[in-house]
Amino acid sequence: MTTACSWPELPPLTGYTVGVTAARRAEELGALFVRQGAAVRYGPAIRIMPVTDDTELRDSTRDLVDNPADAVVVTSGLGFRGWLEAAEAWGGCDALLDMLGGAELYARGPAAAGAVRAAGLDAGRTPASASTAGLLEELIASGVAGRRIAVQQHGEPLPQLAGALRAAGAEVVDVAVYRWVRPPDPEPLDRIIDDTVDGLIDALPFTSAPAAASMLARAGSTRRYGPLVAAMRRDVLVAAVGPAAAGPLASAGVPVLRPSRARMGALAYTLSCELTERAPTIRVAGHTLQVRGQAVVVDGGLRELAPAPMAVLRALAGNPGVVVSRRDLLASLPNGGEEHAVETAVGRLRTALGDPRIVQTVVKRGYRLAIPEAEVAAPAPASGAPDAGPAGPAGEAVLGW
């Protein structure tokens, strides 16, 4: 079986639609997919808001300067840089850097470590897993009883980390630099949720846990949690930049693809490769078909399809050459309907493909791709939709809607 790369004149992600829910660097992430031919839809699930009252951050920073920490946990590059910038605005950056230089530093991942090094400091220890759990393991192994530990938070509270450190005997100072809040206009996110449920989104990359949690929470508060999670488990390629971002998705039972390196570029590359590898290429009625997310490539040329004909083609291509009943095809249509809707969708599909022989009618049984019976493989087992209610644990995330 070949992949999308078989036709170099078409960018590898042509025909796919990617949903981007990030608040920060969303356009940069989207551009990585647009350059490969994908259509990108934006619907921020969160927005990053500076602490509205800098007094709390200033007080905690002054406290650390006056009573230095033995260790400082840096959870994100953006949060660490924001901390230094805030201190610079108060005229206290040098004192903060002196305190940090005298403490043992722990960076949660490569981005955090890079920000620490950029400030002229030793990045200290970074867990190989680039996760909060790995960070906690490193800290506990070093011995924390009686030590003063500052935890720089960025957006998402880390109660488990702070709680575990306190339980192990440490004095913990929380440093809140930014916080995540709901987007002022939920409509773009609502459209992404609806499009995901309707099969119009092929991939969802996540760069932060709060964005993933907020999307699930929004779906839960609008009675779409079950259909959204079902689509994410079954039809949509879901990816996360690292284990922290994958956390809320994994808790909802969603399979999550992760790159080998916790970088946005690596996330886009890994997701792109997986999408192209999943594209089936089929020889039928003298033509070569490659079914992509929202389109089909026929003999090297892209044919864009409306949702209903696209749904029919996906169902037929799922088991090439096997007869699919009208009832099953009807169930695959975005808006359902009566059997006449199947006939209409098949007719539109035949027209779009350019050769009516590609889709064969099997009298009183249904339709199939016109592949010689000797070449038809055994049908793949049906994948039932998971049982997901209208709301779930992730729907009760910290960013409630």
pLDDT of residue 25: 87
Q: Provide the pLDDT for residue 5.
A: 39
Give pLDDT, residue 391: 41
Query: What pLDDT is recorded for position 160?
Result: 77
Higher pLDDT, 132 or 85: 85
Say how far apart CA 1 and CA 374 lie, in whole Å.
17
How far, in Å, CA of 342 to CA of 361, rounded? 12
Cα 39 to Cα 2, 42, 279: the distances in Å are 23, 10, 16
Q: Identify the helix (H) or strand (E) that includes residue 354.
A: none
386 has a pLDDT exceeding 50 = no
Asked if 50 and 23 count as a contact pair (C-beta separation under 8 A), the reply is: no
Distances in whole angstroms, Cα of residue 128 to Cα of each of 106, 235, 256: 12, 31, 19
Mean of all residue pLDDT scores within the chain: 87
Residue 126's CB: how many other CB atoms inside 10 A? Answer: 21
Residues 239-286 have pLDDT tens digits of 999 887 898 999 999 999 999 887 899 999 999 999 988 887 899 999
Residue 384's pLDDT is what? 43
Extract the tokens encoding 286. Answer: 């003298």
Q: What's residue 66's pLDDT?
A: 95
What confidence category does residue 390 fall into, taking pLDDT thresholds of 50, 70 and 90?
very low
Bridge-based pairing state of the strands 47-50 and 287-291: unpaired
Asked if pLDDT for residue 385 goes beyond 50, the answer is: no
Q: Is it the case that residue 298 has pLDDT exceeding 70?
A: yes
Pairing of strands 104-107, 71-74: parallel
pLDDT digits (tens, 9 = 90+) for 344-368: 999 999 999 999 999 999 999 999 9
Please report which confidence band the pLDDT of residue 128 belongs to, taking 50, 70 and 90 as the band edges: confident
Residue 398 pLDDT: 45
Residue 210 CA from chain centroid, whole number: 11
Per-residue model confidence (pLDDT) at position 95: 95
3-state secondary structure of 334: coil
Residue 303 has pLDDT above 90, yes or no: yes
* Alpha carbons 88 and 177: distance in angstroms, whole number: 14
pLDDT confidence of residue 188 = 97
Split at pLDDT 50, 70, 90, the class of 114 is very high
Structure token pair of residue 78 = 């953006």
Minimum mean pLDDT range among 161-165, 308-312, 397-401: 397-401
Q: DSSP code of 124?
A: -
Taking only the tens place, the pLDDT of each residue in 166-213 is 999 999 998 988 777 889 899 999 999 999 999 999 999 999 888 999
Percent of all residues in the chain with a pLDDT value above 70, rounded to a whole number: 89
pLDDT class of 76 with cuts at 50, 70, 90 = confident
- What is the mean predicted confidence (pLDDT) over 146-162? 81
| Cβ neighbour number for residue 273 with a 10 Å cutoff | 16
**pLDDT tens digits, 41-72:** 999 999 877 665 578 889 999 999 999 999 99
| 134 C-beta neighbours (distance < 10 Å), count | 17
Share of the chain above pLDDT 90, in %: 61
Reply yes or no on whether the pLDDT at 396 is more than 70: no
User: Which residues, 6 or more positions from 194, have their beta carbon under 8 angstroms from its beta carbon?
Assistant: 224
Give one word for 173, left, alpha or beta, with left for phi > 0 and alpha for psi -120 to 50: beta
Q: Which pTM does this prediction carry?
A: 0.74
Question: Which pLDDT does position 163 carry in this prediction?
Answer: 87
Which pLDDT value is given to residue 379? 61
Chain segment 1-48, per-residue pLDDT in tens? 333 334 457 899 999 999 999 988 899 999 999 999 999 999 999 987
In 10 A of CB 262, how many CB atoms? 23
**Residues in a beta bridge with 191:** none
- Residue 330 scores a pLDDT above 70: yes
